A and B are shown apart, each in its own frame.
Chain A
Amino acid sequence: MTAARRASVLTPLVLAGCLYVLMLVHRPGVAGAPGPLFWGLVVALWLASIVALSGLSNLRLKSRPADRLASLAVPILFGAFLFFLWEVIVVGAGVPSVLMPAPSAIARRFAASMPVLRDDFIQTFVKSVLTGYAMGCGAGFVVAILADRVPFLRRGLLPLGNFVSALPVIGIAPIMVMWFGFDWPSKAAVVVVMTFFPMLVNTVAGLTAAGRIERDLMQSYAAGYWTTLLKLRLPVALPFIFNALKINSTLALIGAIVAEFFGTPTVGMGFRISIEVARMSLDMVWAEIALAAIAGSAFYGAVALIERGATFWHPSYRT
């Protein structure tokens, strides 16, 4: 109980303190040259936040929604505090922006560069990533079904697929640029190759996941290959397939961005990162990374959401 009381008292106090320090640090007299009192305050806030967070995370609330909320609040507050420290240290100590821009500077840059970011997003995400992802995952799935139908193919492809999954496939980017030109098709091609093998391997593994008894049951109904596939083996394979879809959502974005390091037209997230790094305008690079992070987690989140709907019966979702 004391932990709960401590947390409920300290959390608002720490929040208020952080806001006050944030206002303080941006004053002309303070930014770049704050006194020891200022740093003392920051350290005190840090210690207080540790106590508050540990109080919050040991909280046991009676009602379910409140408990959910508390367990959601802990990481959010923790993350917010890390950003607060980043801001205060960078602004307070006057770290040059070519080394590390403050979050506020990055946010300003993000807001000011919306048109550029939008174009980069369309070029990299909508054109390269989504096209490549759809083609790569689709091809992986079709070949997996094919391999399932022809056991010889499966026994040959599966070890190769596992092998290729561990390779630095990203290295084919320069070749794809040579074959398909500077524009997005070459990036999409890299994404196709990167996403193909995880999909193949996971789908094949998923198709073997149905249990003996369930398969015997289908056999006792004299169900054919396609009926068994549709009614039993594909549903059982869904968690595996979604696992590949989730892995691939991250891989696709990485592939498209890194492939742009090897040459692009003058648009794209990877292009922007490499060009702005060379110009030392790091706030733009960070804005671009923030965009990539948002796009990446939204993509992953969307796939995970669909998975939840499609495999609600799986033990990992039952409560």
Chain B
Amino acid sequence: MTTEAAAIPGLKARRASFRPWEGNTLPVLVIVLAIVGLWYAAALAMNWRGTADAFERAGEARSAPEIALATMGQERPMLPAPHQIVFELKKTVIDTPTTSRRSLVYHAWVTLSSTLVGFGLGTALGIVLAVLVVHVKTLERSLMPWVISSQTIPILAIAPIIIVVLGSIGVTGLLPKSIISAYLCFFPITIGMVKGLNSPDPMQRDLMRTYSASQAQTLWRLRLPASLPYLFAGLKVAVAISLVGAIVGELPTGAQAGLGARLLAGSYYGQTIQIWAALFGAAILASLLVATVGLVERLVNRSMGARTA
């Protein structure tokens, strides 16, 4: 979810010896092309048997090149060829009106809305909790160990319960999914924020003490600004798992709408192209969300005078 390198942000001048994006366009492009090539080869190999069998059942004799060509255009292939996914995406995103239930945009919006609500709730909860933990020693010593150790538990397993229990008391739709998202994403934010709020070095804190600054003044002028890099590192993780939470939250009820529902329906009916399209839709959504958080981070950093690395 996060790498060590990304988890230790610093406004302070840390010389970046690790710059993955610098001049990487060409290698990335080459590797992506290689993956696409491998994909076609795999599609050919994996769909061959099914395609050949289908022709055989129909009593048609085909030559190998004809079968090979046909592996790329199966309706329910083992592995759809990349262009099939692209066409499916085009069909369900551009050619279908967004209000239609056949539109991927419609389903993506369903998932996105619960993701965003959950992300907002989780962020607010996470920040408030972190501020409390930093100021109330009892909370730090009693609650924080639980927050940290709950990271090691597969919390997502709890999703079906939340959906069903809330459903049985009449709460359905967007809210239960958002609660799962919020629940998943507040942990990394709290942990990151607590670290961030405690990040000012002793000298910076002593300085506030020599000014006999109040706790609130220290919070606003020192702790919060110092914690922002940690907050953004947490937000990037949180927004990604918030989306995962919303998708998984759509599974147990066999939900009628959303990317998770598309995955589930696709797997029921063997609609592999639909599954892959939904998967790519989710991937695009996730990268847009993370990129948005990254953009906000850049803007905030710039206004706070961070060195442009």
Please give the residue numbers on chain A whose beta carbons come within 8 Å of chain B beta carbons, in ascending order: 50, 53-54, 57-58, 71, 74-75, 77-79, 98-100, 152-160, 162-163, 165-168, 170-175, 177-179, 198, 201-202, 205-206, 208, 239-240, 243-244, 247, 249-251, 253-254, 257-258, 261-263, 269-270, 273-274, 277-278, 280, 282, 285-286, 288-289, 292-293, 296-297, 299-301
Tell whether, in the assembled complex, residue B153 and residue A292 are in contact, meaning their CB atoms are under 8 Å apart.
Answer: yes
B104 to chain A, nearest CB (A): 13
Tell whether, in the assembled complex, residue B154 and residue A99 are in contact, meaning their CB atoms are under 8 Å apart.
Answer: no
Tell whether, in the assembled complex, residue A50 and residue B138 are in contact, meaning their CB atoms are under 8 Å apart.
Answer: yes
Cβ of A280: which chain B residues have Cβ within 8 Å of it?
Answer: 164, 168
Closest to B278 in A: A171
Question: A78 to B141, alpha carbons, bound, how many Å?
Answer: 9
Tell whether, in the assembled complex, residue B31 and residue A71 are in contact, meaning their CB atoms are under 8 Å apart.
Answer: no
Cβ of A282: which chain B residues have Cβ within 8 Å of it?
Answer: 161, 165
Apart from A78-B142, A296-B153, 19 more pairs, CB < 8 Å:
A75-B144, A99-B168, A100-B165, A153-B31, A163-B287, A166-B286, A170-B248, A171-B247, A171-B259, A171-B279, A174-B264, A174-B266, A244-B3, A258-B251, A261-B160, A262-B264, A277-B160, A285-B161, A296-B152
A114 to chain B, nearest CB (A): 19
Q: Can you list 28 pairs linking A and B with CB atoms under 8 Å apart?
A: A53-B138, A54-B138, A57-B141, A58-B137, A74-B141, A75-B141, A75-B144, A156-B24, A156-B29, A157-B27, A159-B24, A160-B31, A166-B236, A170-B244, A170-B247, A171-B263, A206-B4, A240-B3, A240-B4, A250-B154, A257-B154, A257-B157, A261-B160, A262-B264, A277-B161, A282-B161, A297-B152, A299-B152
Cβ of B272: which chain A residues have Cβ within 8 Å of it?
Answer: 175, 178
Please give the residue numbers on chain B whose beta carbons come within 8 Å of chain A beta carbons, in ascending order: 1-6, 17-18, 20-21, 23-24, 27-32, 78, 137-138, 140-146, 149, 151-154, 156-158, 160-161, 164-165, 168-169, 236, 240, 243-244, 247-248, 251-252, 259, 263-264, 266-267, 270, 272, 275-276, 278-279, 282-283, 286-287, 290
User: Which 4 pairs, one residue from A and one from B, show the smallest C-beta to C-beta distance?
Assistant: A156-B27, A174-B267, A78-B142, A300-B152
Cβ of B142: which chain A residues have Cβ within 8 Å of it?
Answer: 53, 57, 74-75, 77-78
Question: A54 to B78, alpha carbons, bound, how many Å?
Answer: 60
Tell whether, in the assembled complex, residue B3 and residue A162 are in contact, meaning their CB atoms are under 8 Å apart.
Answer: yes
Tell whether, in the assembled complex, residue A269 and residue B157 are in contact, meaning their CB atoms are under 8 Å apart.
Answer: yes
B78 to chain A, nearest CB (A): 7
Tell whether, in the assembled complex, residue A152 and residue B27 are in contact, meaning their CB atoms are under 8 Å apart.
Answer: yes
Interface-centre pick from A159, A282, A286, A288 (highest chain B CB count, 10 A): A159
Contact of A78 among B1, B143, B240 (CB under 8 A): B143
A288 to chain B, nearest CB (A): 7
A128 to chain B, nearest CB (A): 12
Cβ of A270: which chain B residues have Cβ within 8 Å of it?
Answer: 157
Tell whether, in the assembled complex, residue A254 and residue B4 are in contact, meaning their CB atoms are under 8 Å apart.
Answer: no
Closest to B243 in A: A168
Question: A261 to B24, alpha carbons, bound, how many Å?
Answer: 38
Tell whether, in the assembled complex, residue A175 and residue B276 are in contact, meaning their CB atoms are under 8 Å apart.
Answer: yes
Question: A278 to B287, alpha carbons, bound, how many Å?
Answer: 33
Contact of B251 among A153, A165, A205, A261 (CB under 8 A): A261
Closest to B34 in A: A156
Tell whether, in the assembled complex, residue A258 and residue B248 are in contact, meaning their CB atoms are under 8 Å apart.
Answer: yes
Contact of A205 among B4, B161, B287, B290 (CB under 8 A): B4
